Amino acid sequence: MMIRADLMAIAEMVSPGARVLDIGCGDGALLRYLGAAKGTDGRGIELSQAGVNSCVAQGLSVVQGDADTDLKDYPTQGFDFVILSQTLQATHRPRNVLDDLLRIGRHAIVSFPNFGHWRVRLNLLFNGSMPETARLPDPWYETQNIHLCTLHDFIALCTKDGINIETALWVDGLGKAHRFAGHSTRANLFGEQGIFLLSRPNAQHH
């Protein structure tokens, strides 16, 4: 079973047999892969009803919902991993969403496009216009991305909110993931996206 390289990097962070909640699960590719490859007990939330119906028709457990409003029902520490892939930047209150992820899951895995990528910077610097790249394909007036940030910005928020970064990856233009730690200028300049494995320092681990 083949999945996108960045999803594969996320899948590698998940331990076998874990209870997984995938928020914004799309067509269910990651959940299906995790179920088949790691025997996880997976659930999904997806905004589009067509996506939900398609997932359920494939035997996945998915409900229609929104990361901003529909996480409050989920019980505290009900999951081992909560995944938010390429969605944080589209939420209204990303800080609250992060908080919810770490309430619901013992670990959160978050990925998002890096607004600090050199192509983005050059776009602004030389063209003076909002960047449109492979990761950020839509013009400013149509994009769902309302809370874009750089890898540095995200790490700063984690520090501020006392969130523990267990693993940090930057993903290059070929989809290859590279590990980094702390404030890496290289990661922030060359990462098209970042993937973070997060936890609360005081949370109980099994």
Partner 1 sequence: MTHDGCIPLLDGVISPGLSEALQHIGFSPNMSEMLHYPASSSPAAPPAQVGCDPALGGIRVFGPDRALVLDGGVSLAPVSIAFRTYGRLNSERTNAILVCHALSLDQYVASDNPITGKPGWWTQMVGPGKPVDTDRYFVICSNVIGGCMGSTGPSDPDPVTGDPYGLKFPVITIADMVRAQALLMDDLGIGRLLAVIGGSMGGMQVLQWASQFPHRVHAAIPIATAARHSAQNIAFHEVGRQAIMADPDWHNGDYQRHGTLPRKGLAVARMAAHITYLSEPALHRKFGRNLQDRESLGFGFDADFQVESYLRHQGMNFVDRFDANSYLYITRAMDYFDLAADHGGVLSKAFAGTPTRFCVVSFTSDWLFPSREGRPVVHALIAAAANVSFVEIDSDKGHDAFLLYEPEMFRVLSGFLNAAADQVGVKLP
Site map 142..161 versus partner 1, x via CB under 8 A: --------------------
If phi > 0 it is left, if psi is from -120 to 50 it is alpha, else beta; for residue 17 that is left
By beta-carbon proximity to partner 1, the closer residue of 79 and 196 is 79
Interaction of residue 62 with partner 1, rule CB under 8 A: yes
The residues, ordered by sequence, that sit 6+ positions from 185 with a Cβ below 8 Å of its Cβ are: none
Q: Which of 146, 151, 153, 150 is nearest to 169 (CA)?
A: 151
For residue 62, what are the β-bridge partners?
Answer: 44
SS3 15: coil
SS3 113: strand
By beta-carbon proximity to partner 1, the closer residue of 15 and 61 is 61
Interaction of residue 75 with partner 1, rule CB under 8 A: yes
Please identify which residue in 16, 59, 128, 201 interacts with partner 1, judged by CB under 8 A.
59
**How many residues bind to partner 1 according to rule CB under 8 A?**
19
Please identify which residue in 2, 16, 73, 204 interacts with partner 1, judged by CB under 8 A.
73
Please identify which residue in 48, 53, 69, 185 interacts with partner 1, judged by CB under 8 A.
53
Least distance (Å) between residue 55 CB and partner 1: 8
Question: What distance in Å separates the CA atoms of residue 154 and residue 41, rounded to the nearest whole number?
Answer: 29
By beta-carbon proximity to partner 1, the closer residue of 12 and 41 is 41
Question: What distance in Å separates the CA atoms of residue 138 and residue 144, rounded to the nearest whole number?
Answer: 8
Helices (H), the chain: 5-13, 29-38, 49-57, 94-104, 118-122, 151-160, 185-190
Site map 78..117 versus partner 1, x via CB under 8 A: x---------------------------------------
Question: What distance in Å separates the CA atoms of residue 9 and residue 176, rounded to the nearest whole number?
Answer: 9
Interaction of residue 49 with partner 1, rule CB under 8 A: yes
Binding residues for partner 1 (CB under 8 A): 41, 43, 49, 52-53, 55-64, 73-75, 78
